[in-house]
Amino acid sequence: WNDIHPDNKKDVGERMALAALKKAYNENIVYSGPIFKSASIESGKIIISFSHTGGGLITRDGDELKEFAIAGADKKFVWARARIEGSKVIVWSEEIADPKFVRYAWADNPVNPNLYNKDGLPASPFRTDK
């Protein structure tokens, strides 16, 4: 949790190799996990769009999505529920009637960020409350 150097260097190296194959050699491959693109608010829920969804969005463990939090205008974040709908993620909480901001895996050491694309690459942490 307090070291920027990952213990599992193999996975990091493999992801870097995918990026090199795509960027340097222009191979037609999926080289990144989902990256936040935009968010919209509808009926008390935040709808998140991503780039780099590859073959689609999944949870790594088949469980519910974890590590999503939302807040209203006061920026007091609470843990939220989230579900995948096609290539988007819908996020909500009964505690926040009028959500404005969302965060995913926004911690020094998130417990179980499990949003991936079907190509096995993890989503990058993000926040919309900049």
Sequence-distant (≥ 6) Cβ neighbours of residue 14 within 8 angstroms: none
Q: Which helix (H) or strand (E) holds 37?
A: strand 35-42
Query: In the 8-state DSSP scheme, what is residue 28?
Result: S
CB-CB contact of 49 with 84 (8 Å): no
d(C-alpha 96, C-alpha 102), whole Å? 11
CB-CB contact of 46 with 99 (8 Å): yes
According to the model, what pLDDT value does residue 5 have?
Answer: 73
Question: Is 4 a residue whose pLDDT tops 90?
Answer: no
User: Rounded to whole angstroms, what are the CA distances from 26 to 12, 31, 35, 48, 113?
Assistant: 20, 11, 20, 28, 29
pLDDT tens digits, 71-115 = 999 999 999 999 999 999 999 999 999 999 999 999 988 989 999
User: Model confidence at 34, in pLDDT bands (50, 70, 90)?
Assistant: very high
According to the model, what pLDDT value does residue 70 have?
Answer: 98
Residue that is written with structure tokens 């998130």 in the block = 110
Task: Please count the residues of the chain.
Answer: 130
